[in-house]
Structure 1
Amino acid sequence: MASVPEVSPEAAFRALQEDPDAVLVDVRTDAEWNFVGVPELSGVNKQVVLIPWQVFPSMQVNDHFAEHLRRAGVTAESKVYYLCRSGARSLAAAQAAQMAGFPHGFNVSDGFEGPVDAEGHRGTVSGWKAAGLPWRQR
C-alpha cells in the first residue's frame, strides 16, 4: 500500500478552494460534530462530507466506510482530504479508502482540534480551528 501524504489544514483548505473536485471528509463521530463543531465550507461553495470512521459509542470501525464515500459522490478520481480530531483516525480512514479504490487521499495533519495545550485544552495549538479556518457549531 502506498503511503497517504499529510497536508496542513491550511493546505487542505487551499486545495478545497482551488480544486472544484476536492472533497473534505470529516471522519469524526456524530458526538464530535454536534458538540465540537465542523468545518464550514459554504464560502468555497462546498459542504463537508460527514462519514464516521468509528461509530460512537462503541468506537467500532465503520465497515461501510467505502460504501458511504461512494454514496456521497466521492470517486476514484476525487482528491479527498480526510480530517478527524488530531490526525490519527483520518490516517486510518485514508489508508482504508486507498485500499478500497480511492487512491488520491490526503491526511489533514493535526485534524480539527490538534494536540492538547499545556492546560489540557484542544484547539489552541494546531489543527483546523487553531489555524483560524472557517468552522461552525452544528
Structure 2
Amino acid sequence: MVDALRLGGPKPAVLSVAAVFQDRQNQKAGIPSYGCFGRPGHDSGGQEAFVLRTAAYQGDVGPEEAWKALSESDAVLIDVRTRAEWAYVGLPDLSPLGRQLFLAEWQSFPTQQVDPEFAGKLVAALGEAGVGQEVPLYFICRSGVRSAAAAAAMTAAGYGPCFNVSGGFEGDRNEAGHRGQINGWKAVGLPWTQS
C-alpha cells in the first residue's frame, strides 16, 4: 500500500496500486468492475481505505482522441509520471499544437510514494496558467494506471471533465517485454521528445 491523496475526512487514506491495476485489467478483459480501487480497512494499518469509484472521472480515451481534443479545444494534457521517466523515457510533445504540457508527479521516484499534495500543487499550477476548473483535463502516465488515479483525484477536487489516456505514454509490454510498440502515445506515432 502507498500513501494516497487525502481527499477529506478525519483519517489519512491509502490506495492500493495493485487494486487499481487489477481493476483496470478486469475492465480490459470485460470483467465488471468492483466499483472501487482499494477495499475499506484492507491492509491499511487501521486507517480508512481510499475508495475511488471507477466512475470518479469522465472516462478513458485513447491517445489519438486526447490529441484531437488538445488540437480542437482548450483541453490540457497533464503527465503524472516521475521526473526520472520524463528525463529518461521522454515526454509528449505538444509544440506542434502550440500548447503547454503540464508535469505533475503522482508518485515520486524512487520511493513511489503518492504525493499527498498532488491536487493542491496541480490546482496552483493550473491557476497560474489561467486554466479554469471546467477545462477538460487529460491525464497520462506510463500505461494508464497512475493517470486514472490522478484523474479521479482532480475530479474529486472539483475539476473536469477529467480523462485518463488509456495505454499511457509507453503502453503495454509486447511478447519480448518491450513497451512503446503495442499501444500508447509513442506506439500510435504522436509527437514526443527526449532529453
TM-score by length of 2: 0.68
Equivalent pairs counted in the alignment come to: 137
How big is each residue's C-alpha offset from its partner over 1:42-79, in whole Å with a ceiling of 9 and x where there is no partner? Answer: 11011210000001111111111112222222431110
Structure-1 residue corresponding to 2:69: 15
Structure-2 residue corresponding to 1:38: 91
Q: Which of structures 1 and 2 has the larger relative contact order (alpha carbons within 8 angstroms, sep 6+)?
A: 1
Residues 116-127 of structure 1 correspond to what in structure 2 (within 5 A)? 116-127=173-184
Structure-2 residue corresponding to 1:56: 109
- What is the alpha-carbon root mean square deviation over aligned residues? 1.1
Ranges in structure 1 where 5+ consecutive residues have no aligned partner: none
Residues 100-119 of structure 1 correspond to what in structure 2 (within 5 A)? 100-119=157-176
TM-score by length of 1: 0.95
Ranges in structure 2 where 5+ consecutive residues have no aligned partner: 1-52
User: Are 1:81 and 2:138 counterparts?
Assistant: yes
Asked if 1 retains the 8 angstrom alpha-carbon contact of 2:56 and 2:156, the reply is: no
Larger Rg: 2
Identity %: 53
CA shift, 1:3, in A, is 3.5
4+ runs deviating over 3 angstroms: none
CA shift, 1:11, in A, is 0.2
